[in-house]
Structure 1
Amino acid sequence: MFTDKLKLAWQNGIAALIPNSCALCRLDSAEVVCSSCHAAYFQPGPQRCVQCALPLPPGSASPRCGDCLSNPPAFDKTLTVCDYAAPQDQLLLSLKFAHQLALAPWFARMLRDSILRQAGNELPDVLCAVPLGKARLAERGFNQAWEITRPLSKHLGIPADAHLLQRSRETAMQSGLPTADRASNVKHAFCLDENHLDNVRGLHLGIIDDVMTTGMTLHEIATMLKRHGAAKITAYVFARTLPHIH
């Protein structure tokens, strides 16, 4: 026991010597994002469309935006933490391209808080991550959406399935394509694992991704899942790109 106490004291001492800084402002912080940046950039914003999570005009009488009313996507609901805008976008870029995987559990906590703030929110039966193609997964070494999904599953007490969703073919990165080409890029790009073909019927599925830009990827996934009998699809994304950015 004495040895354990020495070990704990040594670990605490080392931890105290290692500087911990806010991922946004780089000032000292005990948390991933300091309280000042949290208050500045992550407070609940304007009312959003319940289906695509874009901000609604002030005083909007409908819970859905005009686009979702006239041309609804296949997913039923979207919840997000923030807009994909500076400086929040740097957190996503750091996770995806700088391999700062320690950000993923914080994204999950922020998503959990956004989910639990929703009055009368119906939680899904299973959580899934938007899958990467084999080539991109091998290149990056991890799927950022799955890194967020794992801790979110624990926070919500909902099972997560890493294999249910699959890529049926490689696609170009959506972020590098014009908006007009994004639908065709992901058309028929997703499928169910052959062991799950009959396992989604009647289920409410939660699909997690780091960012939603046009929603085409999630629309294609939801279309495929509903073709296999899924009852409802909710998208959970850390950030939502505003229309003028894409």
Structure 2
Amino acid sequence: MPLLGLGVYQNYSAKASVLEALAAGYRHVDSAQAYRNEADVGAAVAESGLSREQVFITSKIISRDHGYEKTLAAVEKSLGKIGGGYIDLFLIHNPHAGAALRLATYRALLDLRAAGKLRDVGVSNYGVKHLEEIRAAGLEPPAVNQIELHPLCQQKPIVAYCQKNAIVVQAYTPLIRGNFDEPAFQDIARKHGRDVAQILIRWSLQKGFVPLPKSATPSRIYSNAQVYDFALDEDDMKRLDALDRGAAGSVTWNPVDVD
């Protein structure tokens, strides 16, 4: 899985953005059934000149479609929209459906992986109790947990659990939806001659996360990928780490505590 992905949330005409990102060197696109742009993602990959195997595509199943049979049917729809015969990573989008349906959905995704339709299976917006629910059921841990993650909302207990159990942590909303007013962001950006978005993405990479910055603007898509020719030093990382506000720092729905 490439360590930097393009997020396409609320991008209802995502084809142009995905083509731009692929031309800029991205090889990872994060979509979902709820985003209503899986077909755009598939079309962009098909027109990009890249082979299907060169692009890592994620999609997700929302809680209204949870349950074993409903999941099988929903994934088939996603396969038809994305094309290529398989999806690299499929996530349970959120934990709202309750324990029984969450586990039934997870079992369906594992069976789809066994059938070769999915390459790997994971979850999103899962707290520790949801992850423990999978372990208690005797099922293998998810490959990925995708959560809101940035310096203001670091979700440290979930991250620690994932790291202990070899679960990759993907960071959505790594750019805090453009809330760049924190003085530390501005100071560190000036220090390195970079923009704040690049600082936030670099922080995420250096923490060992997989950031998924979203943009539909070609210049931003390109600049968000220019993060491999500099590094934040220890003082930078400590200053950013100290900004954690816990749940108060969240800028999204962040449903990690639902039952």
Q: TM-score scaled to structure 1, two decimals?
A: 0.29
Structure index of larger Rg: 1
